């Protein structure tokens, strides 16, 4: 029983929270925050890493946000994180964004029960069995690095500005274009971060790396060139004709 019960970490907007109506199931823990937009993407990945089977974000239904656009920020976070989770080999269903209000007809506990049922089908998080050196853990670590990485966070922060109003050049980016750009960046960032994590402990050759990442050596090489430009990597040593690369400490 204990083992089958999926554990859900729930972040809840203070304004969706109502003490009197809440019956919180024992498998769920609730962290109340001022606004659901407060939740850092890294925090969600950390939850999954530390053993939660699923993460639920509960916020007020648009357009009703006490902080005007906190819930739309949460939507952006969830959108990107689902992509990252796919890349890392985690089911994106493990993250759910729920719009809830204390005056909803349906009670909060029935929402959580439904979600728990859904999670039961997915069985337990593979992370629980994974050891620290396993590919999944490396993926999660890489995903966390992507989420805390500058390029992605700037894009996330500016998404609304870029797609809803114009930038300094008077251009407006269509949301489709922005999404495809975001996808591209997430994918390439993820590969780079994964290479970075892999080479942190010992120098690796392009061949081993391409096997670990599951990409052509030429693609891996291009990423490594980019990473050297970004001061993330360095050439460690050369064995015969094979160069070995090592990650540099990013500040």
Could you tell me which residues come within 8 angstroms of residue 127 by beta carbon, excluding any fewer than 6 positions away?
Answer: 48, 49, 51, 90, 136, 137, 140
Q: In this complex, which beta carbon is closest to other proteins, that of residue 8 or of residue 197?
A: 8
Q: In this complex, which beta carbon is closest to other proteins, that of residue 64 or of residue 211?
A: 64
Q: How far is the CB of 61 from other proteins (least distance, A)?
A: 8
Q: How far is the CB of 103 from other proteins (least distance, A)?
A: 5
Q: In this complex, which beta carbon is closest to other proteins, that of residue 34 or of residue 219?
A: 34
Which 8-state DSSP code applies to residue 69? S
Residue 22 structure tokens = 């809440």
Q: How far is the CB of 244 from other proteins (least distance, A)?
A: 31
Q: In this complex, which beta carbon is closest to other proteins, that of residue 113 or of residue 151?
A: 151
Q: How far is the CB of 213 from other proteins (least distance, A)?
A: 25
Q: How far is the CB of 154 from other proteins (least distance, A)?
A: 5
What is the contact surface with other proteins in residues (CB under 8 A)? 7-11, 14-15, 18-20, 26-35, 37-43, 46-47, 50-53, 63-64, 66-70, 73, 77, 101-105, 127-128, 148-151, 153-154, 156-158, 160-161
Q: In this complex, which beta carbon is closest to other proteins, that of residue 162 or of residue 213?
A: 162
The pairs formed by 178-187 with CB atoms below 8 angstroms and a separation of 24 or more are: 181/155, 182/80, 182/83, 182/155, 183/83, 185/151, 185/152, 185/155, 186/80, 186/83, 186/84, 186/87, 186/146, 186/152, 187/87
Tell me whether strands 54-59 and 233-239 are parallel, antiparallel or unpaired.
unpaired
Residue 120 structure tokens = 């039961």
Q: How far is the CB of 184 from other proteins (least distance, A)?
A: 18
Residue 18 structure tokens = 């109502």
Could you tell me which residues come within 8 angstroms of residue 102 by beta carbon, excluding any fewer than 6 positions away?
Answer: 16, 17, 18, 21
Q: In this complex, which beta carbon is closest to other proteins, that of residue 4 or of residue 26?
A: 26
3-state SS, residue 205:
strand
């Amino acid at each position: 029983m204990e083992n089958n019960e999926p554990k859900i970490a729930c972040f809840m907007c203070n304004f969706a929270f109502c003490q009197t109506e809440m019956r919180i199931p024992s498998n769920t823990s609730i962290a109340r925050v001022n606004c659901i937009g407060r939740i850092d993407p890294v925090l969600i990945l950390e939850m999954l890493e530390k053993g939660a089977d699923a993460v639920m974000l509960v916020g007020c239904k648009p357009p009703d946000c006490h902080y005007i656009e906190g819930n739309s920020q949460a939507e952006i976070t969830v959108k990107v994180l689902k992509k990252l989770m796919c890349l890392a080999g985690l089911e994106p269903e493990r993250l759910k964004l729920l719009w809830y209000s204390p005056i909803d007809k349906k009670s909060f506990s029935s929402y959580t029960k439904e979600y728990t049922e859904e999670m039961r089908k997915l069985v337990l998080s593979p992370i629980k069995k994974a050891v620290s050196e396993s590919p999944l853990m490396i993926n999660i670590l890489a995903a966390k690095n992507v989420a805390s990485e500058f390029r992605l966070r700037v894009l996330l922060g500016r998404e609304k500005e870029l797609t809803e109003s114009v930038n300094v050049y008077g251009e407006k980016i269509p949301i489709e274009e922005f999404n495809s750009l975001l996808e591209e960046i997430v994918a390439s960032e993820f590969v780079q971060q994964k290479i970075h994590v892999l080479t942190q402990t010992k120098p690796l050759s392009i061949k081993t790396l391409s096997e670990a990442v599951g990409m052509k050596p030429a693609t891996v090489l291009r990423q490594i060139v980019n990473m050297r430009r970004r001061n993330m990597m360095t050439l460690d040593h050369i064995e015969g004709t094979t160069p070995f690369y090592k990650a540099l400490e990013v500040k």
